[in-house]
Amino acid sequence: MRDPYVSYDYLSAGIDFPKFELAPEFDRVPPYTAEISSEDKVRAAQLLRENIVISLHDHPVRFPNDMRQTPEYNRTGRQHTAFAGLAASGMTVVFDNMMDGTACVTGNAPWRWLDIITDLGMRQADIAHQDDVIVVRTLADIDYAHQAKKVGVVFGLEAATPIENEIDRLDVLFGLGVRQIGIAYSDANALGSGLNETTDGGLTAFGKHAVHRMNQLGLAIDISHSSDQTGLDVCATSERPVFMTHAGARAIWDTPRMKPDDVLRAVAETGGVIGMSAAPHTTLSHAHPKHNILSVMDHFLYCLDLVGIEHVAFGPDTLYGDHVGLHTVFGHLLKIGAAAVGGPTFEKVEYVDGLENPTENFGNICEWLVQQGFSDTEIVAVLGGNIHRALEKIWI
């Protein structure tokens, strides 16, 4: 029997590309423990196994054990997909924004055009050498992944910054397999303002042109890292549902990284979906200021009450490795510190218990939903049904 495929097995590590000691896909931290009856556990496992489960935002790749090596690791252009971890995750599909703000393959600045093309090509070359993970470009691909018990990866970008002011680059990205793009990531770009700006200029004229082109192409639009006004402008401009793939409610935790009620409502009014994030020290709550799965669920319950269960889902924004350490290394690029300035005080954690990596996320989410008394129909909707429904109107 052939050994399980590991990323870039078709090459020789240390000869064809630099070798790094990477974080494990399993047991990096102690497993999350919650009191749950055997009956509820069986029901949760069955719901996870039999239905389409979609993460609106995760990074299903292995990072170096030493996060300080991440810039050098990324510069190789080869992030290692966690094939074994994905197989055990219960997910049908994961939206993967690749290197996002840490893209530094050929330079020190994030989101350069050639960096993105290199990243996109490398990842797909790797995936092409195995059979358990597929690249998703259509709804039919999602349905096939579910039926064939495979895991689908939707490639996207956290920001449209690499297109600069060239609208046709959206077509190029679509042609290369990208199916979701964020407007801005913290800093402003040619399309609009990011959440880090002190002056919120909203969506630019070029940004409105880009939104129309994304609608024409069938590119899902994400406003997670956009400013409040940019998010509102996108929702008013788009003729198709808009995603907030990984965020939370500012009413629960008052920082710029979270979104106010009017933006959350605007996303829902487009027919879109809000994905709950679990990136360390973001979706905290006053009820659970030590960041864990319960903090995230406080945001989920608030958004559910605000916009209805048909507009909420999960985009945990997790990875394989020390996510807190990653924020430390890339704080100057990711604006982690700036996003928290002026926010409530909180106890720092080493990891988010219950939502630490893509393998464990949805098992724990599903068990929590079962324990809280949600019906099977409601659970199926928030695990992936809501996203699938929105994509029916986006991926034309």
pLDDT digits (tens, 9 = 90+) for 267-277: 999 999 999 99
Domain made up of 43-394: CATH architecture: Alpha-Beta Barrel (3.20)
**DSSP single-letter state for residue 158:** S
The pLDDT value given to residue 332: 59
- Amino acid identity, position 355: L
* pTM given for the model: 0.96
Report whether 63 contacts 392 (CB < 8 A).
no
Q: Provide the residue ranges of all domains of the chain, joining segments of one domain with +.
A: 43-394
Q: Which helix (H) or strand (E) holds 274?
A: strand 273-276
And the tokens for 345? Answer: 């005080």
- Other Cβ atoms less than 10 A from the Cβ of 3: the count is 6
The pLDDT value given to residue 338: 41
And the tokens for 274? Answer: 């809000």
Kindly give the parts of the chain with pLDDT less than 50.
337-341
The pLDDT value given to residue 215: 98
The pLDDT value given to residue 196: 85
How would you classify residue 373: left for phi > 0, otherwise alpha for psi between -120 and 50, otherwise beta? Answer: left
Cα distances (angstroms) measured from residue 6 to each of 15, 80, 320: 16, 8, 14
pLDDT digits (tens, 9 = 90+) for 319-360: 999 999 988 887 655 555 444 445 678 889 999 999 999 999
Helix orientation angle between 139-148 and 386-394, rounded to the nearest 10 degrees:
140
Q: Could you give the CA distance from residue 148 to residue 92 in angstroms, rounded to a whole number?
A: 10
End-to-end CA distance of the chain: 41
Q: Could you give the CA distance from residue 99 to residue 318 in angstroms, rounded to a whole number?
A: 13
And the tokens for 359? Answer: 């393998």
